[in-house]
Structure 1
Amino acid sequence: MSTYSIRDLERLSNLKAHTIRIWEQRYGLLQPERTESNIRFYNDDHLKKLLNVCVLLDRGMKISHISRLSNEEIRNEIEKAIQESYTDDRYLNPVISQALIAIATYNEKVINGLIDQTIRHLGMRDTYMKLIYPMLVRTGLMWTKDDLLPSQEHFLSNIVRRKLFSAIDQLPIPENPAQTWVLFLNEDEDHEIGLLFAYYMIRQQGHRAVYLGARVPYHDLSNVINNCLPTHICTFIVRQRPQEETERFIQNLINDFGQVRLCVSGKTDGIQETDLQHKVTVLRHIDNLLDLLNTSN
């Protein structure tokens, strides 16, 4: 069972630590454990209850009422919130909260069920935009704790990767694609979920995609480009790095493959205005990618 400080709960729930303490004192909402030095800490059950409380608050319930609900009554309200959220145009906050709980407790059955149910209701594209992406943002805050980084990050990432690959495998191979994309991460990049989603969108729009994945040696790109003759090259910059390093990477792409439309997403601060004049397109949102996929060049 994982342990959390009150600051961890604050980040995950978007509630102020001061509010959480008041609710503890006034309503007995949580009963934290304490270290030998009398420092509060919380467990997975505390996290689960607090995230559920946040869902019910979003539904307009008052904390004084929520604090009197039994565990079964809370479960019933959460299930109603999940079902109703599929007809709402906003992010799926109740589903995200349940997914966070499943990640914290390594409950693969629950998180698989939540993602699959969302795909059935909304399709893969909206599932990524309304569930997976905001879930990754929220858990990214959780991974500031070093002891959570290697376990829960890999647990979630591998589930999401499987879902995306499964969705991609169900798409037909295009017969006469108007565009050919080469997708890769540089040799020091590991986090490929954003790139995988771009792969899915390209294939869904009927274009060809040559997916190279993570940690691609830069010197191998020339052979791929010469053989595939792509119309577009796409990469994501995820790792934090000095700006001059990003500038050098982008300049190398321009020098070596400037005849192809270069598309870059992620941490793009190192891209200069002059780069944008050399066929470098910054993908800041899924709509930027869709615009490219719906054009003839």
Structure 2
Amino acid sequence: MNLPAGRSQTAMFTASEVEAQTGVPATTLRQWERRYGFPHPVRNASGYRLYSPLDIAAIQHMQAHLNAGVQASRAAELTRRDLAGAAEPPGTAAPDAARDPAEWAQLLTAALLASDTERASALLGQVHAQLPVEDVVTEVISPTLIEVGARWERGEITVAHEHQATAFLRARLSNLMDVAGVNEGFGPLVVAACAPLEQHELGLMMLTLALRRRGVRVAYLGANTPLGDLAVFARMQGARAVLLALNGEWALNATLEHLRDLGGLNVPLFLGGALLNVRPELAAQLGGEYAGPDAPRAAQAIAAYLHRAAHTEGGHA
């Protein structure tokens, strides 16, 4: 992820202006300066730090690496390498590649199947620098997962390859979910879980991330959640909606067998996942509503429902 060569090194932005542009607090900028040797502000006559456009580009690249789940020390190492490339004379530094999401997904798939996780981390860092978080998730990570799964089904890769790729992407999604935070939202709580015997949780993680980024509080329970335990947890936490993911027939059969355990919750049940995308009519059979075909649209529908419910309750108060 080389920084663009020729980026101006003229110091012109105050710390508060840099914070407004990048979202990185001034205190963090000073920590990076001390620990990692960048950015490189100069002092004006009054002693205040001034940052250049090249500094801002470096800060954004550092943030992109961190958002991709790269450890801070490694992210700083990669950013310093990028800075060195940007400082080379014009014509000697590799230009920043402008790619569409499909190309990024192909490159990410190739890196993961080659077990080159360092390359995969660097690619995700570049993607985060160019695309919004939800576009990264839905247009790059999700197609990568689909392609890896398809290659496994065709016998082109081993289950070990599939597991390593999935574990890598799960870690990145988990990092993004932690950044969004479960307690930073508003209003009623949504409990999200995978149905019994359902081990494929990455789609639900994407939806949880999308909901949290819309300010919705979500308690994420993960894979293979017994419905009885889910119901007890939802009651104890005072959940106002439940989100259940099913990706295959194995999960459908197990859910139908124990569906009675959700009786008496008296909260909306939203259902999603690959199986529901193919057979959305199953949502009604399971006593719930189809969440939607992808994370952004499902998150928007659930958030809209919660907003309407809160408005209705407020009007009746």
TM-score bracket for the superposition, by shorter chain length = 0.5 to 0.7
Moved more, 106-115 or 284-293: 284-293
> Is the CA contact (8 Å cut-off) linking 2:182 and 2:218 kept in structure 1?
no
* Residue aligning to 2:180: 171
- Among 83, 98, 113, the alignment partner of 2:97 is 83
Measure how far apart 1:188 and its partner are.
0.7
In the aligned structure 2, how far is the partner of 1:235 from the partner of 1:273? 10
Measure how far apart 1:113 and its partner are.
1.1
Deviation track 1:179-204 (CA, whole Å, cap 9, x = no partner) reads 31111112311111011111111211
Change (3 A) 1:281 1:260: farther
Measure how far apart 1:171 and its partner are.
2.4
> Is the CA contact (8 Å cut-off) linking 1:235 and 1:264 kept in structure 2?
yes
* Residue aligning to 2:122: 113
RMSD over aligned Cα atoms: 2.8
Change (3 A) 1:100 1:272: closer
In the aligned structure 2, how far is the partner of 1:246 from the partner of 1:216? 11
* Residue aligning to 1:195: 204
* Residue aligning to 1:289: 299
TM-score (ref. length: structure 2): 0.59
Moved more, 247-256 or 187-196: 247-256
Identity in percent: 18
2:148 is aligned with 1:134: no
* Residue aligning to 2:189: 180
Deviation track 1:233-275 (CA, whole Å, cap 9, x = no partner) reads 11111133396x2772585366343x11111112023844754
- Among 229, 240, 255, the alignment partner of 2:263 is 255
In the aligned structure 2, how far is the partner of 1:249 from the partner of 1:290? 30
In the aligned structure 2, how far is the partner of 1:175 from the partner of 1:193? 22
In the aligned structure 1, how far is the partner of 2:283 from the partner of 2:159? 37
Spell out the pairing of 1:97-112 with structure 2 (5 A cutoff).
97-112=106-121
2:153 is aligned with 1:144: yes
State the secondary structure of the residue aligned to 1:179: strand
Q: Which structure 1 residue ranges, 5 or more long, are not aligned?
A: 1-78
In the aligned structure 2, how far is the partner of 1:275 from the partner of 1:240? 14
Q: Which structure 2 residue ranges, 5 or more long, are not aligned?
A: 1-93, 310-317
> Is the CA contact (8 Å cut-off) linking 2:227 and 2:261 kept in structure 1?
no
* Residue aligning to 1:13: none
> Is the CA contact (8 Å cut-off) linking 1:237 and 1:265 kept in structure 2?
yes
> Is the CA contact (8 Å cut-off) linking 1:182 and 1:211 kept in structure 2?
yes
Measure how far apart 1:152 and its partner are.
1.5
- Among 210, 230, 237, the alignment partner of 2:239 is 230
Which amino acid in structure 2 is aligned with residue 290 of structure 1? Q
Which amino acid in structure 2 is aligned with residue 252 of structure 1? R
> Is the CA contact (8 Å cut-off) linking 2:180 and 2:212 kept in structure 1?
yes
Which amino acid in structure 1 is aligned with residue 199 of structure 2? D
- Among 237, 258, 265, the alignment partner of 2:272 is 265
Which amino acid in structure 2 is aligned with residue 236 of structure 1? A
* Residue aligning to 2:66: none
Measure how far apart 1:213 and its partner are.
0.6
Q: Greater relative contact order: 1 or 2 (C-alpha under 8 angstroms, separation 6 or more)?
A: 2
2:169 is aligned with 1:155: no
* Residue aligning to 2:64: none
TM-score (ref. length: structure 1): 0.62
Change (3 A) 1:202 1:250: farther
Change (3 A) 1:224 1:110: same
